Chain A
Amino acid sequence: MEWFKSLFYDTNIDFVGKRRLAGTISTLLVIASWVLVFTMGPNWGIDFTGGTEIHIQFKEDVQIGEVRTGLHALGLSDDAVQQVGGDDDHEFIVRIQDASFGAAEFQQEVKGLLDQAYGPQWATAMHFDAEVGARLSIEYTGPKVEAKDVREVVKSIEGIQVKEGLDDNQVILKLPGLSRQVEAQLHSVMQGKDFTVIATDAVGPKVGGELRRQGVVAVAATLGLVLLYVAFRFDIGFAPGAIIALFHDVSLTLGIFVLFQRELNLPIVGALLTIVGYSLNDTIVIYDRIRENMARYRRSDLPGLLNVSINETISRTIATSVTTMMAMVAFLVLGGPVIENFALAMMIGIVVGTYSTVFVASPMILVMQDVKPWLAKIVIGAGPVDSEPAAHPVAGPVEEAPRSAAGTALAEAEASAAEGAADPDEGLSESEKRRRERARLAKERA
């Protein structure tokens, strides 16, 4: 065990040195992911598109072909029916994502009945509205008609509701969701084969659109606030790295889901959020070590310092990744169909998140180091952030480091770190020596 454990300590791997390779790969992967998202498009679940999804289970052996053929009469394509679970489960999901599905038939049927009762000139306009179910508002000519009379006329349509409209010459017809229609059709064509409806999901198109909008707003707001917090607690140079790493992780996970056309539904959004949380957590832990080392090694070079920090925390990175991964494997194997997708997303997220912390978030600090003076030049008034191009927190002694709004918090962290360093214990100066040695070595290699 000990020799195994020792593998993860006192490592000396040059992570930062591979930043160009990693950067290239990451950029290509992110671009590829977004190309996939925009060309192939995600397999949105009805949570986002609106529509109806019916999960049925037959009691006896039924082939998918029979179900598909049975539903052709409703105008459903073969794609609408999918088999889930094992062959012995006889479970199928019927998914109808077109919000106005069945609208034409419904209008036709209503029109036919109304024409018969009131004559073809009676209805002047029909407006169809898709929600869960359908809503048809009809304007008519002539004397006022009571809702109950119209109901009598169209009563052959099962489940229909009739209301008077706002205006005198308007009635509103409502039809409940599609699920009953599909059930009825299946009952009639699958004669003698009994099935139970396990789950029905129906989402109106408005709700779906809103959900997508909310998701985008939430993610954008999260990224913005995290940017501010990292800039405040650490350094403005740290913030973009954290954000880009997050963006990187979500993009890649999304890309993989699009590539394999896995359905994007609410639980997957939950998983994406979890990945955001996990990746952020991972990044901040390494950032914390970088911040601490920056305060301690006043004259170290930045790439060497980043390497030391990553190497010092590598045992923790591995321990955490391994534990979470083990839990997710349990979820993937035992969790059942609903949790399976979630666990898969999480596993992808763990790999990608750990990678991005080491190879994206940390090297971005270096990139920002180069960009900052340039930024300071073009942004007038950016002076307080870092007025002297050369003076970043690493370069000079703590006392001389330029102070800024962000710098105050940094100073506190430094002060507390300095307190730790000032502990009158022999061992600590020993640790300083070893760390310096390691930093020096790393610098030489760089």
Chain B
Amino acid sequence: MDGITRARVLAIAASVLIPIYVLLPTFLSGSAEDRFNDAVSGVEVGADAGPSHLVIDLDVVSGDTDALVAAIKGRLDRAGVSYENVVLDDSGRLLVQLRVGASRDDVYTLIQSKADLGLYVGDSLLAAYQGTPEAQLEALRAELVGKPAPGGLPPVAVTAGEAADATTVRLSLDLPFTPLEEGAEPPLSHLLVVRGGVVEQVRMVQPGAEGVPATLTVAQRDDQAGFLAALLGGPLPGQVALHQEKVVDSGPAKAVEEAAPSAVPAWFLKLLPNTAINMGIDLRGGIDLTLQVELDEAVLSQVARDLAYVSDSAAREGIEITSARRSRYEPWILLESPSSFEDLKTFVHTRMPSYYYLESKQEDGHEVHVFSLKDDEVTRIEKQAVEQVLETLRKRVDETGVKEPSIVQKGGGKINVQLPGEVDFQQAVDAIGTTAILEFRMVDEAFDQAELQRMLVEAKDSLPPGQYEDDKLVNDWLYQTGRLKEDHVVMWQYEDGPEGTRVRDYAYPLMAEVILTGGDVNKASTSWDQQQQPYVSLEFKPRGANVFCRVTGESVGKRFAIVLDGEVRSAPNIKDRICGGRASITMGQSMDAMEDSQILALVLRTGSLNAPVSIGEVRQLGSSLGEDAIRSGLEATFIGGLVVFLFMAVWYRTAGIIADIALGINLLMVMALLAIFGATLTLPGFAGLALTIGMAVDANIIIYERIREELRLGQAPRKAVDAGFEKAAVAVLDSNITTAIAGVVLYSYGTGPIKGFAVTLLIGIATTLFTALFVSRTMMELVTRSSTARLRI
């Protein structure tokens, strides 16, 4: 073997080993059977595929485990939650394996309901209402339903609860008051059914005689009767805490194996590259949403807000504006003013620099001056609108707890969101479809920080771990135990934790009253002051400006909190009374100040700008169908591939086997490149792969037919191979380049699925050229290197 050949063989070895290295993470994650499955997010390939499961892994904190298993099973049964099994694993953890269709929230409520659900008697509240008992009840209901349970109401012990029929639950209660003497009219008492800290029902109850438990019939919405009965069946005989949860798409036995530590040593996993092939939603199941940020509407919405501001600020400048309107479709503000045109123009120029004068026209005998939003401003608003939606989306999607979500910005204000796995459709759409809520609340500076910390430590000790992480539940607990007054609320500033999670950073004692909302904010942006310190400048709408003026006047020296979706994002100090609608928040001189201020400005805008989002496209695929699709797809690919491989070996014998090896290397390289580019494999992507294999086979066929031609003309094998490759190369190159042209066009014009096709095709063309013209040739030359060698082709 001469030097050049040796180098070529080494290159081929590298083209096998590097793809294998790149593909290792794809094949090694998870247990033996499930390695491939994990790479495609747990889609079962084998014949014994079971349905998809959400597995909730619980630590047993206290109590007897077997009794817990039975109790949890009982609750799930009664509530009608579809589950596979509740089992104990080797390490003493409880695994709750749910079936498709079970709502994760319901399950958590069922498992952790102890502190969640209560019945409260509120007879003392009756006094405030007049009229018939029904009217009183109605009034009470209106006041209480949907609000937190009032503190101080004594809890009622529930001794038994059962679903009488599909819509009714019958409860037995121990009421904490003395029964009446015989013959006396029983007083009406009120029972509040509280779940998750929110009053759901107000019911009248008639206490029974002493020793006889009171009964209550609670009519529920159809689907909730069993649920409530399950919750009221008595507390769990112990306590559990969430360890982890994951989606597993295999039979129950395997799910238990999954929980066991991975067989692959950690040090080895560390050596592996961070690559994996993503499977598209059409192959793995999940939801694929395309959102359209309505850019025009975002711009018009800014114009509408500027319009609200213009009259107000004009009055302060001494300019009278008799009519201010906006155009329905264009980013224009139409002003009528008795002041001189020059004054008006100067006013707009200085006060609303993002507008320019467009034209003046006569309408019904009035002169109307049209000012238009500048083009670069329009572009900026559009960009901001998309950014804000992205920011909100990331946070919201994060909250849904979906693993491996993908949020990708496309052109023209489109955003593609992919949520793989079993996802509650409505929950996802709700999470994505609503805009962020921005609130301003005052910080209670009088509140003792040490006291707050003590309260929180107590809450942490008393609440199950899973519940302490929930801001709302902690507050509910603080109210219920009388530690915190109703007019206060504790909210946290969060920071980024490991692996994309958000963890609590700092707790603020806030006043419950919301002083301003995002709707009161007009604009927010970042600037620098003279000391080159960044600050966020903030502009309120007229109403917001008035409120802000009053509040800041009352609270100089205190802080107010900017709260977005329940998280404190910033708590600036009020230095002085701020009137006139403009405020600035200085950010200090820290290294991150610039970034912080940009984030804060974005937060303020997120709550203010209502960038409207519409859903352009929703695709949901149950992972069972995806599972079917991928299984039959892989089966077909395997059989199809086998047929092709056999044909090549039979038709071209030695050369055919060489072609098969080259084809194998080709496939390896395509997969590795897909993993490196992080490309997503979709169904059309599979089509691209099929075409690639076809073209790779064809390249070899072209070459071999050429070699046969040469051989039949009496050439020595070595010469025939050389001549065959030389001549066929032109045809192979041309046909592949022409197809690549089509691929490039499809890539640049196409959307998602078509792009996927194009990417696979382009990668395939590159690897086909390499394997057919280099790998095959080297091997053919090795086979025919001696002058006496015979070639079976």
Contacts and interface: CB of A to CB of B under 8 A. Distances in A.
Nearest to A204: B616
Contacts of B648: 323
Given A199-B622, A334-B635, A207 B616 contact: yes
B20 interface: no
B616 A425 contact: no
Interface in B619-664: 619-622, 624-625, 628-629, 631-633, 635-637, 639-641, 643-644, 647-648, 650-651
Given A180-B426, A285-B731, A288-B730, A431 B713 contact: yes
B482 interface: no
Interface stretch (A103-111, A338-346, A375-383): A338-346
Interface string A175-187: 0110110000000
Given A196-B101, A211-B751, A281-B739, A427 B714 contact: yes
A285 B697 CA distance: 13
B735 A334 contact: no
Given A135-B614, A217-B749, A326 B643 contact: yes
A277 interface: yes
A1 B793 CA distance: 12
B734 A327 contact: no
Given A198-B624, A214-B750, A330-B636, A221 B426 contact: no
A430 B713 contact: yes
Contacts of A242: 738
Interface stretch (A26-34, A68-76, A263-271): A263-271
Contacts of A285: 698, 702, 731, 735
Contacts of B684: 266-267, 269-270, 273
B683 interface: yes
Contact of B701 (A164, A316, A339): A316
B757 A339 contact: no
Contact of B683 (A270, A277, A413): A270
Contacts of B701: 316, 319-320, 323
A328 B697 CA distance: 14
Contact of A200 (B425, B636, B709, B749): B425
A222 B745 contact: yes
A371 interface: no
Given A226-B741, A280-B739, A420-B727, A132 B616 contact: yes
A327 B736 CA distance: 20
Interface in A282-306: 284-285, 287-289, 292
A163 interface: yes
A289 B702 CA distance: 11
A409 to B, nearest CB: 11
Contact of A335 (B624, B625, B636, B742): B636
Contacts of A203: 616-619
B691 A336 contact: no
Given A273-B687, A273-B757, A319 B651 contact: yes
A278 B694 contact: yes
A223 B739 CA distance: 11
Contacts of B736: 281
A221 B730 contact: no
Nearest to B519: A164
Interface in A132-187: 132-133, 135, 159, 161, 163-164, 166-167, 172, 174, 176-177, 179-180
Interface stretch (B296-304, B470-478, B557-565): B296-304
B754 A270 contact: yes
A271 B687 CA distance: 7
Contact of A334 (B639, B688, B695, B742): B639
A420 B612 CA distance: 66
A118 B167 CA distance: 34
B726 interface: yes
B290 interface: yes
Secondary structure call for the A interface: helix
Contacts, number: 271
A211 B290 CA distance: 13
Contacts of A284: 731, 734-735, 738
A129 B783 CA distance: 69
A201 interface: yes
Contacts of B640: 326-331
A135 B435 CA distance: 16
- Taking residues whose C-beta sits less than 8 angstroms from the other chain, chain B's interface range is 35 or more
Interface residues of A, number: 99
B772 to A, nearest CB: 13
Contacts of B730: 288, 292, 413, 416
Contacts of B738: 226, 229-230, 242, 280-281, 284
A445 B697 CA distance: 35
B115 to A, nearest CB: 29
Given A166-B300, A222-B746, A288-B735, A131 B614 contact: yes
Contacts of A193: none
B580 interface: no
A324 B731 contact: no
Secondary structure call for the B interface: helix
Contacts of A334: 632, 635-636, 639
A434 B619 CA distance: 61
Contacts of B612: 163, 172
A282 to B, nearest CB: 8
A425 B719 CA distance: 9
B744 to A, nearest CB: 8
Given A55-B625, A285-B702, A339-B636, A132 B618 contact: yes
Contacts of A166: 297, 300-301, 304
A405 interface: no
A263 B487 CA distance: 61
B771 to A, nearest CB: 16
Given A211-B751, A229-B737, A336-B629, A218 B433 contact: no
Interface string B239-264: 00000000000000000000000000
A83 interface: no
Nearest to A272: B687
A9 interface: yes
A163 B433 CA distance: 11
B735 A320 contact: no
B64 interface: no
B73 to A, nearest CB: 21
A428 B715 CA distance: 8
Interface in A393-418: 413, 416-417
A79 interface: no
B723 interface: yes
**Residue from A242, A277, A292, A330 having most chain B Cβ neighbours under 10 A:** A277
Given A267-B687, A315-B705, A222 B741 contact: yes
A172 B637 CA distance: 50
**Residue from A172, A338, A431 having most chain B Cβ neighbours under 10 A:** A338
Contacts of B686: 339
Contacts of A218: 745-746, 749-750, 754
Interface of A: 1, 5, 9, 55, 131-133, 135, 159, 161, 163-164, 166-167, 172, 174, 176-177, 179-180, 196-204, 206-207, 210-211, 214-215, 217-218, 221-222, 225-226, 229-230, 233, 242, 266-267, 269-271, 273-274, 276-278, 280-281, 284-285, 287-289, 292, 312-313, 315-316, 319-320, 322-324, 326-331, 333-336, 338-339, 342-343, 346, 413, 416-417, 420, 423, 425-428, 430-431, 434
26 contacts: A9-B712, A164-B519, A179-B425, A196-B100, A198-B624, A199-B620, A199-B622, A202-B619, A203-B617, A222-B745, A226-B742, A266-B753, A270-B753, A270-B757, A280-B735, A281-B698, A284-B738, A323-B647, A323-B694, A327-B690, A334-B635, A336-B633, A346-B690, A417-B727, A428-B723, A431-B710
Given A327-B690, A343-B636, A427-B713, 9 more contacts: A131-B614, A166-B297, A167-B304, A233-B737, A281-B698, A281-B735, A288-B734, A292-B727, A336-B632
Q: Which 3 A-B pairs have the closest CB atoms?
A: A336-B632, A270-B684, A330-B640
